[in-house]
Amino acid sequence: MHHAAAHPSPARAQVRAAASRTALACGLLALAALAAPGQAQAQQIWKWRDASGHVQISDRAPPPGTPAQDILQRPSGAPVPADAGTAAPAPASGVRIMNNGVDPELAKRKTAEQQQRADAEAKRQQALAKIQADECNRAKANLATYNSGVRISKPAADGSREFLDDAGREAFGQKAQADVAKACK
Protein backbone atom coordinates (compact mmCIF):
# COMPACT_ATOMS: atom_id res chain seq x y z
CA MET A 1 0.00 0.00 0.00
CA HIS A 2 1.29 3.43 -0.92
CA HIS A 3 0.19 6.69 0.77
CA ALA A 4 0.37 9.87 -1.31
CA ALA A 5 0.36 12.16 1.75
CA ALA A 6 3.48 10.57 3.21
CA HIS A 7 5.55 11.58 0.20
CA PRO A 8 4.57 15.07 -1.02
CA SER A 9 5.33 15.94 -4.59
CA PRO A 10 8.18 18.45 -5.26
CA ALA A 11 5.66 20.98 -6.68
CA ARG A 12 3.57 20.82 -3.52
CA ALA A 13 6.70 21.39 -1.33
CA GLN A 14 7.65 24.46 -3.39
CA VAL A 15 4.17 25.95 -2.95
CA ARG A 16 4.34 25.42 0.84
CA ALA A 17 7.82 27.02 1.03
CA ALA A 18 6.64 30.06 -0.96
CA ALA A 19 3.59 30.44 1.31
CA SER A 20 5.81 30.29 4.42
CA ARG A 21 8.14 32.97 3.03
CA THR A 22 5.14 35.18 2.18
CA ALA A 23 3.68 34.76 5.70
CA LEU A 24 7.05 35.58 7.26
CA ALA A 25 7.44 38.70 5.12
CA CYS A 26 3.90 39.87 6.03
CA GLY A 27 4.62 39.32 9.72
CA LEU A 28 7.85 41.34 9.55
CA LEU A 29 6.07 44.17 7.74
CA ALA A 30 3.33 44.21 10.40
CA LEU A 31 5.94 44.41 13.17
CA ALA A 32 7.72 47.25 11.41
CA ALA A 33 4.43 49.13 10.98
CA LEU A 34 3.64 48.74 14.69
CA ALA A 35 7.08 49.95 15.76
CA ALA A 36 7.25 52.91 13.37
CA PRO A 37 4.66 55.20 15.05
CA GLY A 38 6.36 54.90 18.45
CA GLN A 39 9.75 55.68 16.95
CA ALA A 40 8.40 58.69 15.07
CA GLN A 41 6.79 60.07 18.22
CA ALA A 42 9.89 59.46 20.36
CA GLN A 43 11.99 61.33 17.84
CA GLN A 44 9.95 64.55 18.34
CA ILE A 45 10.92 65.00 22.02
CA TRP A 46 13.38 67.64 23.23
CA LYS A 47 15.07 67.31 26.62
CA TRP A 48 17.36 70.00 28.10
CA ARG A 49 18.62 71.45 31.37
CA ASP A 50 17.41 75.01 32.04
CA ALA A 51 19.41 77.83 33.65
CA SER A 52 18.36 76.75 37.17
CA GLY A 53 19.45 73.13 36.56
CA HIS A 54 15.97 71.58 36.13
CA VAL A 55 15.49 69.08 33.31
CA GLN A 56 12.81 70.19 30.85
CA ILE A 57 10.98 67.80 28.48
CA SER A 58 8.87 69.14 25.63
CA ASP A 59 7.94 68.70 22.00
CA ARG A 60 9.23 72.26 21.46
CA ALA A 61 12.83 73.28 21.02
CA PRO A 62 14.60 74.81 24.03
CA PRO A 63 14.50 78.59 24.31
CA PRO A 64 17.05 80.62 22.37
CA GLY A 65 20.35 80.92 24.17
CA THR A 66 20.30 77.40 25.66
CA PRO A 67 23.91 76.13 25.51
CA ALA A 68 24.40 73.08 23.27
CA GLN A 69 25.90 71.05 26.15
CA ASP A 70 22.65 71.50 28.12
CA ILE A 71 20.55 69.91 25.37
CA LEU A 72 20.25 66.29 26.50
CA GLN A 73 17.99 64.98 23.69
CA ARG A 74 16.76 66.37 20.39
CA PRO A 75 14.72 64.90 17.54
CA SER A 76 16.91 62.94 15.15
CA GLY A 77 18.36 65.20 12.49
CA ALA A 78 17.26 68.36 14.29
CA PRO A 79 19.89 71.10 14.38
CA VAL A 80 20.87 72.90 17.55
CA PRO A 81 18.31 75.71 17.92
CA ALA A 82 19.51 79.10 16.73
CA ASP A 83 19.87 81.89 19.27
CA ALA A 84 17.60 84.28 17.39
CA GLY A 85 13.85 83.88 16.99
CA THR A 86 13.29 80.22 16.23
CA ALA A 87 9.60 79.57 16.38
CA ALA A 88 8.82 76.37 18.23
CA PRO A 89 6.26 74.02 16.71
CA ALA A 90 2.87 73.69 18.38
CA PRO A 91 2.72 70.94 21.01
CA ALA A 92 1.56 67.51 19.88
CA SER A 93 -1.66 66.26 21.40
CA GLY A 94 -1.17 64.21 24.55
CA VAL A 95 2.14 65.88 25.46
CA ARG A 96 2.12 67.84 28.72
CA ILE A 97 4.32 70.90 28.71
CA MET A 98 6.11 71.25 32.01
CA ASN A 99 6.80 74.69 33.41
CA ASN A 100 10.16 74.99 35.18
CA GLY A 101 10.45 71.20 35.38
CA VAL A 102 7.26 70.81 37.48
CA ASP A 103 4.51 68.44 36.39
CA PRO A 104 1.22 70.40 36.60
CA GLU A 105 -0.71 67.38 37.97
CA LEU A 106 1.93 66.78 40.64
CA ALA A 107 1.86 70.46 41.63
CA LYS A 108 -1.95 70.35 41.86
CA ARG A 109 -1.87 67.25 44.11
CA LYS A 110 0.84 68.79 46.29
CA THR A 111 -1.19 71.99 46.72
CA ALA A 112 -4.29 69.96 47.65
CA GLU A 113 -2.30 67.96 50.24
CA GLN A 114 -0.90 71.17 51.75
CA GLN A 115 -4.43 72.61 51.97
CA GLN A 116 -5.67 69.43 53.71
CA ARG A 117 -2.84 69.65 56.25
CA ALA A 118 -3.59 73.34 56.86
CA ASP A 119 -7.31 72.57 57.33
CA ALA A 120 -6.52 69.75 59.78
CA GLU A 121 -4.18 72.04 61.76
CA ALA A 122 -6.87 74.76 61.90
CA LYS A 123 -9.39 72.22 63.26
CA ARG A 124 -6.88 71.05 65.85
CA GLN A 125 -6.23 74.64 66.95
CA GLN A 126 -9.98 75.28 67.25
CA ALA A 127 -10.40 72.15 69.41
CA LEU A 128 -7.52 73.23 71.67
CA ALA A 129 -9.01 76.74 72.01
CA LYS A 130 -12.37 75.23 73.03
CA ILE A 131 -10.71 73.00 75.66
CA GLN A 132 -8.78 75.99 77.04
CA ALA A 133 -11.97 78.11 77.18
CA ASP A 134 -13.79 75.31 79.04
CA GLU A 135 -10.92 74.99 81.56
CA CYS A 136 -10.91 78.77 82.09
CA ASN A 137 -14.68 78.82 82.71
CA ARG A 138 -14.39 75.94 85.20
CA ALA A 139 -11.53 77.66 87.07
CA LYS A 140 -13.52 80.94 87.22
CA ALA A 141 -16.57 79.07 88.55
CA ASN A 142 -14.46 77.49 91.32
CA LEU A 143 -13.00 80.89 92.25
CA ALA A 144 -16.51 82.42 92.27
CA THR A 145 -17.64 79.62 94.61
CA TYR A 146 -14.73 80.37 96.97
CA ASN A 147 -15.38 84.16 96.86
CA SER A 148 -19.12 83.68 97.56
CA GLY A 149 -18.40 82.44 101.08
CA VAL A 150 -20.49 79.26 100.84
CA ARG A 151 -19.31 76.15 102.63
CA ILE A 152 -17.08 74.00 100.37
CA SER A 153 -17.07 70.21 100.59
CA LYS A 154 -15.16 67.34 99.03
CA PRO A 155 -15.89 63.60 98.91
CA ALA A 156 -14.54 61.61 101.87
CA ALA A 157 -12.93 58.16 101.61
CA ASP A 158 -16.18 56.46 102.71
CA GLY A 159 -18.20 58.32 100.04
CA SER A 160 -19.73 60.90 102.36
CA ARG A 161 -19.21 64.67 102.02
CA GLU A 162 -16.54 66.31 104.12
CA PHE A 163 -16.70 70.08 104.60
CA LEU A 164 -13.42 72.01 104.47
CA ASP A 165 -12.14 73.76 107.59
CA ASP A 166 -10.60 77.26 107.39
CA ALA A 167 -7.14 75.93 106.32
CA GLY A 168 -8.70 73.68 103.67
CA ARG A 169 -10.87 76.51 102.44
CA GLU A 170 -7.80 78.81 102.16
CA ALA A 171 -5.91 76.12 100.17
CA PHE A 172 -8.95 75.74 97.88
CA GLY A 173 -9.02 79.52 97.27
CA GLN A 174 -5.30 79.67 96.44
CA LYS A 175 -5.61 76.72 94.04
CA ALA A 176 -8.66 78.34 92.38
CA GLN A 177 -6.72 81.59 91.82
CA ALA A 178 -3.72 79.68 90.41
CA ASP A 179 -6.03 77.68 88.09
CA VAL A 180 -7.59 80.91 86.75
CA ALA A 181 -4.13 82.42 86.14
CA LYS A 182 -3.00 79.28 84.30
CA ALA A 183 -6.16 78.48 82.29
CA CYS A 184 -7.27 82.01 81.35
CA LYS A 185 -4.20 83.34 79.54
Highest mean pLDDT of the ranges 39-53, 96-110, 168-182: 168-182
Averaged pLDDT, 136-145:
92
The angle subtended at Cα 90 by Cα 31 and Cα 92, nearest 5°, is: 30
- Is 156 domain-assigned? yes
Q: How far is CA 53 from the centre of its chain?
A: 22
Query: How many angstroms separate the CA atoms of 38 and 78, rounded?
Result: 18
Averaged pLDDT, 154-168:
90
Reported pTM: 0.40
Query: How many angstroms separate the CA atoms of 56 and 49, rounded?
Result: 6
- Is 61 domain-assigned? no
Task: Look over the chain and give the mean of its residue pLDDT values, rounded to a whole number.
Answer: 77
- Is 130 domain-assigned? yes
- Is 147 domain-assigned? yes
Averaged pLDDT, 100-116:
85
Position 78 confidence tier, pLDDT thresholds 50, 70, 90: confident
Long-range contact pairs involving 166-171 (C-beta distance under 8 Å, separation at least 24) = none
- Is 36 domain-assigned? no
Report pLDDT digits (tens) over 40-75: 454 588 888 988 888 888 888 888 888 888 888 888
CB within 8 Å of 44: residues ≥ 6 apart: 59, 75, 92
Determine which of 35-39, 139-143, 150-154, 157-161 has the lowest per-residue pLDDT on average. Answer: 35-39
Q: How many domains does the chain have?
A: 1
Please report, to the nearest 10 degrees, the dihedral formed by the alpha carbons of residues 49, 51, 104, 86 taken in order: -80
- Is 148 domain-assigned? yes
- Is 163 domain-assigned? yes
- Is 16 domain-assigned? no
The residue with greater pLDDT, 22 or 179, is: 179
Segments forming the whole domain that contains residue 129: 104-183
pLDDT score for 84:
36
The residue with greater pLDDT, 93 or 106, is: 106
Which residue, 58, 67, 127, 61, is CA-closest to 96? 58
Neighbour-count burial of 164, counting CB atoms closer than 10 A to its CB (0-12 exposed, 13-18 middle, 19+ buried)? middle
